[in-house]
Amino acid sequence: MECAAKGSAGAGPCAPGRPSRRCGLCGAVAYCSPSHQMLHWNDHRDECARLQEQMRMADTLNDFPFTFSEEASLLRSGEQMTRCSLFMSKGLHQRGLWTSECSCGPTLASIGGLGIMNDWNLPSSLCPCTDPKNPISTPLSSWKDYYKWRSLPFHSPVALLLHWPLTIYHCLQLSFARNSSSEVSGKLHIHYLGPEKELLQLAVFGELRALFPGLQLYIEIVGPAVPQCRDGETICISNYAHCSEESCHCRSSERTNAVMLRLRKGYYHDRYTDIVKELIKEMGVPAIFTDFCEEAAFLASRCISSVTGRPLSLPIQINPFRQPMAVEDSALYLPCYSNCFIFGM
């Protein structure tokens, strides 16, 4: 958390320590001193009422069905419980797929490459390591629906990683609903832009096999975080991430409906205007975006609308499959979760 006036014209150096003087109206921003708060008011005035409305969404966004939700989401004396302490309490800290989920974990830059970790470090009763018992009868619309379908107890923490494939699932459901006249069968190509730590959790994308059993998915993952040595590589994910049981058949079984991932290193935002113009505006390709808080989604949507010259066709809305753990070190006091809001063209 930084002083909201940091970098503003005329603002001197910020006082050391965490800023504790919060705006008395919205409560979303904080300052290191009264002088910085007064100086920043002209900039903050226009956004203050909007941030007030967003702060009122805190209880809704913090509402999850999991038994670990209180630990993962609630603010405690202005500080979020750290991810490290949560994973330590679950025996998952720095293990398998969970390695990159806390600030002390390795980054792609620090390991100099991309390893495909494939272990939940959980018993089979707590993770989706094999095919589901039944196909999806009606579209999943919440974590409750997913856990019931996958026969998982609510103390299983797998939603903390499965928000990546479940968000893709939800975005595709929204896209299918908006384009009911178009039929999708056989194959589907997806451009996935801006990956970061999910590059160390690619095995969880295998869950898309269960979510779309009759569909061959090709996902092109594009972003500067892709290691140069893996640029252009194709990864075939033909099974689910493994449980911790050596005797479970998840370690030997493979299926034919693999998810194909193609890694592309590149600064996708260098062609941002071209992408918006060619794919969205001229070709009508559905484009759905996610962001970690409502304010970030609002600012991004305004930028996209200015480039396309049209309003959003998919208004900003809460993603039911957002990660059920608050984002650490947010610049605002707004409720923030990975993949928290969805909007699109």
Q: What is the pLDDT of residues 327-345, one digit of tens each?
A: 877 778 899 999 999 999 8
pLDDT score at 182: 53
Decide which of 178 and 222 is more confident: 222
> At a CB cut-off of 8 Å and minimum separation 6, what does 149 contact?
132, 134, 136, 140
Whole-number Cα distances in Å, 207 to 57, 134, 164, 197: 30, 14, 10, 17
CB 100 within 8 A of CB 201: yes
Three-class SS of residue 46?
helix
One-letter identity of residue 224: P
pLDDT score at 116: 66
Q: Which of 37, 39, 9, 42 is nearest to 24 (CA)?
A: 37
Compute the average pLDDT of residues 14-22. Answer: 91
Compute the average pLDDT of residues 197-212. Answer: 93
CA 82, CA 325: separation in Å to the nearest integer? 10
pLDDT score at 76: 39
Confidence of residue 45 (pLDDT cuts 50, 70, 90): very high
CB 34 within 8 A of CB 15: no
Confidence of residue 272 (pLDDT cuts 50, 70, 90): low
Structure tokens at 131: 């095919």
- Whole-structure pTM over 0.85, yes or no? yes
Round the CA-based radius of gyration of the chain to a whole number and report it. Answer: 21
User: Quick one: how far is CA 196 from the chain centroid?
Assistant: 10
Whole-number Cα distances in Å, 337 to 58, 293, 323, 324: 11, 7, 6, 7
User: Is the confidence at residue 137, as pLDDT, over 50?
Assistant: yes
